[in-house]
Amino acid sequence: PCLQLESFTANKRKRILSRYKDLRIEASNDFKTMWFCLHEQHKLYFIPSQIYGVIRVSLIPVQDIRTAMIRVLCDMIYVINKHEDNLSIFENEFVTVMDKFANEPLVDKIFKEYLINAIDDFCKAKKLARNGSKLVDMIDNLLSRIIELRVAVNDCETAALDLQMHCVRSLMEFYERLGHLPMYIKYIYQLHEMNRRLQNKIEAGHTLMLHAKLLDWDPDKVLEEVHMKYTQTHQSVKTHDQLKKKLYRDIIQLFDDGDAWEKSIEVCKELQIQYEQSFEYVNLSAL
């Protein structure tokens, strides 16, 4: 942060540059040089762990820095594709990293276009047409949605609330299509909370059902961390079956509060079957 010259006043920035030049350019070029000195097998040790740092530095709005860092990023893509024959490792890490920078103003249309063009040109030059074009499309769709959401969030107009929900839903559906479960679940709960704040109880219930559908009615299937991260559940909830039943109870309450009694009854009937099969008559009587 102390080297972010863009945050300084024009006079201070000019004084620093005249005295020391932009040390970030030299550092980024040194990093690129060291990266390309590594053997391909050794580069794999730093992928995907270094993707975060490379993207973070590439966000600095200085062309020489971006050029150096994105060149390293492109080489990571090449190395992964060569050794794995797919880019899923890079895609998953890229999605996770960019979500951390979702509120970063430097993730703008200029950065998006620069990154997409650089990766697209690189993939074409290296004949990574199949995996490369898919990756470019993914990055384009992801960054477009992230930028749209940030713009909507920064809009103070009341009408922007509907736009925010639309953007969150768009991101959620994108992550679902991408098959990125952690981000999909995260945005399920973001949309769920937005609906609750706006007193959209029925929509909140439907949104919560999206997570419930990802779970099994299996009392022996241990709950993965990804399902616990964004849910406010008690520590006693350990299995898919337990969490799904809890979510169903929450959904029933939301439908009931929203006067959607027919929908509430449908969920009750499904939950009733599970309680009967597991002999949970106390819980059954509470429905």
- How many whole angstroms separate alpha carbon 147 and alpha carbon 164? 11
Mean pLDDT of 75-89: 91
Q: How does pLDDT run across 212-229, given as a tens digit for each residue?
A: 999 999 988 998 888 888
Report pLDDT for 130: 82
Its pTM stands at 0.86
CA–CA distance from 226 to each of 36, 171, 229, 284 (Å)? 35, 18, 6, 28
List the chain domain ranges. Answer: 1-154
- How many whole angstroms separate alpha carbon 19 and alpha carbon 91? 41
Q: How does pLDDT run across 126-155, given as a tens digit for each residue?
A: 888 788 999 999 999 999 999 999 888 877
Higher pLDDT pick, 255 / 286: 255
Report pLDDT for 1: 46
Q: How does pLDDT run across 83-131, given as a tens digit for each residue?
A: 987 899 999 999 999 999 998 888 999 999 999 999 999 999 988 878 8
203: its two tokens: 């929509």
